[in-house]
Each structure stands twice: as structure tokens, then as C-alpha cells.
Amino acid sequence: MSKISLSIVILAKNEEERIRDCIKSVEDWASEVIVIDDESTDNTPRLAKELGAKVLIRRMDIEGRHRNWAYLKTENEWVLSLDADERLTEELKTEIESTLSSIPKQNAFTIPRRNFIGDYWIRWGGMYPSAQLKLFRKDKFKWEEVEVHPRAFLDGECGHLKGDLIHYTYKNWASFLGKLNNQTTLEARKWHKLSLTNPKKAGYKMNLLHALWRTWDRFMRAFISKRGYRDGFIGFMTAYFSSLYQMVSYAKYRDLVKKDGK
């Protein structure tokens, strides 16, 4: 079976439990598989090498910069960016093959994702299709070089694929809260840095009333407007925990500002 001219870039850190399945979903299909290892302390690099992937070690500093650096290390025109908790379905691989062989006018494509907590596929509350820009011509695309929620910059048109990417987002609720904790820390740092140069803008976004409103608004949109209630208890907990993002970020931001004042 011939492989398609596509570079797979997988970001990983301490993913020995999941890196094997991620690589196996693409190893006999794509011509290049690169794992960018964020200084793992487990067996992630060794397992990746055993499966034939090229492994490059780089400490994650700023997410957008880290991803852009990784894409420059590839040998093909087209890149598919994955995380270690993502898997390709056969339907998606077939669609990507067909799309690239047609020499598309678009320079990037979004891919719908099935997000899971444990073995449960979360279908509602905005968690599906939750399409992400994953496939692109590397010379036409880059991420904003910021620590959290980088914006995508694309030169040209963006298309949309229909095949699903499997995303084992959270192992359990502890994993969910762990990610929430990490992301809100980065969010607080982002606004704290802005407050040092543009305190007016930071104060407009990071205040108690705004945090309360965003918390309420996020929950109502996820659980009611986007019908998260159809996922039952899991839908409620997903909406509830996600809604706390702004409030927790604000609390951490206050801590950073208070530390400056001492």
C-alpha cells in the first residue's frame, strides 16, 4: 500500500498510554510522522521511535510558536496536525486522500471531532461537530504566537471535511478539571501581561461583573441553547465546568495583580 504525501505532526508530553494508538492510526497511511515531544519523563519518545515516527524534542514555551516550529520541520507540502489523544477514522483518511489528490484550491480544511469523556461521546452542548482547522498547506498557514487560544492565520480559502476525527478529550472528570486549571492559569497570565501595558483593556475584560456574566452566559448557551441537556448528567457537568472558565481565570488574575501590589 503506497503512502500519501502528507506529514503528520503529533504534539505530546507524557503520553505513553495514548501515543501508540495515535501513531497506529496513521503509520501505514502517511509518508511522514513526526512526534514533537515536550520533554516527556515517561516512555513517550521511545514508543514513538519504535513505531517508526521521527521524534524531535522541544520544550513547549508558547503554544502558537511551538506549533509553527513543528510544521517547519516537515518535508511535505500538506500537514495534518494532531494531538496524542486524537485518532483518524478510515472514513476521514479516505476523504483526505481524495481531497489532496484533486489538488484543491483551498489551502486548509477543518475537520469535525467527536469529543469523548472516558468512553462517552459528547454529542451536544457545542461539543460536536466542534470542527478544528487541522489540515493545511504549511506555507499558507500559521498560528498566532500566544500562550493560550492562539488565532489561526490562513492565506487563502478554507474548506470543510465531513469525516470525523476521534478525540479522547478527557479520561475522566479529574482530567477535565486538570485541563481547566491549566488553561485558566494561562488565560490569567495573558490578561495580567496585558494589564501592564494596557490596563484599561484588561480592566474591561477582567472584572467581577464580566466574569459573572460570562459564567452564566456560557452555561446557558451550552446546556440550553446548544441542548447539552440531551447528554444528561454528563451534559450538565460539561456545561457547568466549562462555564467556570471565566470566573476561575478572573480569580487567578486577581491573585497576580495582588502580588504586583505587594
pLDDT in tens, the chain (262 residues): 689 999 999 999 999 999 999 999 999 999 999 999 999 999 999 999 999 999 999 999 889 999 999 999 999 999 999 999 999 999 999 999 999 999 999 999 999 999 999 999 999 999 999 999 999 999 999 999 987 788 999 999 999 999 999 999 999 999 999 999 999 999 999 999 999 999 999 988 899 999 999 999 999 999 999 999 999 999 999 999 999 999 999 999 999 999 887 5
Identify whether residues 135 and 33 lie together within a single domain. Answer: yes
Identify whether residues 104 and 14 lie together within a single domain. Answer: yes
> Going by C-beta distance under 8 Å and a sequence separation of 6 or more, which residues neighbour residue 163?
89, 91, 92, 93, 94, 95, 96, 111, 112
Identify whether residues 165 and 188 lie together within a single domain. Answer: no
In sign, the C-alpha dihedral spanning 195, 254, 126, 110 is positive
Identify whether residues 89 and 160 lie together within a single domain. Answer: yes
Q: Which of 170, 194, 219 is the last residue of a domain?
A: 170
Identify whether residues 39 and 140 lie together within a single domain. Answer: yes
Structural domains of the chain, count: 2
Identify whether residues 94 and 220 lie together within a single domain. Answer: no
The dihedrals phi and psi of 154, each to the nearest 5 degrees, come to: -125, 130
Identify whether residues 70 and 141 lie together within a single domain. Answer: yes
Identify whether residues 233 and 106 lie together within a single domain. Answer: no
Cell numbers for 1, please give them.
Answer: 500500500
Q: The domain containing residue 178 runs over which residues?
A: 173-261
> Going by C-beta distance under 8 Å and a sequence separation of 6 or more, which residues neighbour residue 225?
none
pTM of the entire structure? Answer: 0.89
E strands in the chain: 4-12, 30-37, 54-57, 78-83, 86-88, 108-111, 113-117, 120-121, 132-137, 141-143, 152-154, 158-160, 165-170
Identify whether residues 67 and 193 lie together within a single domain. Answer: no
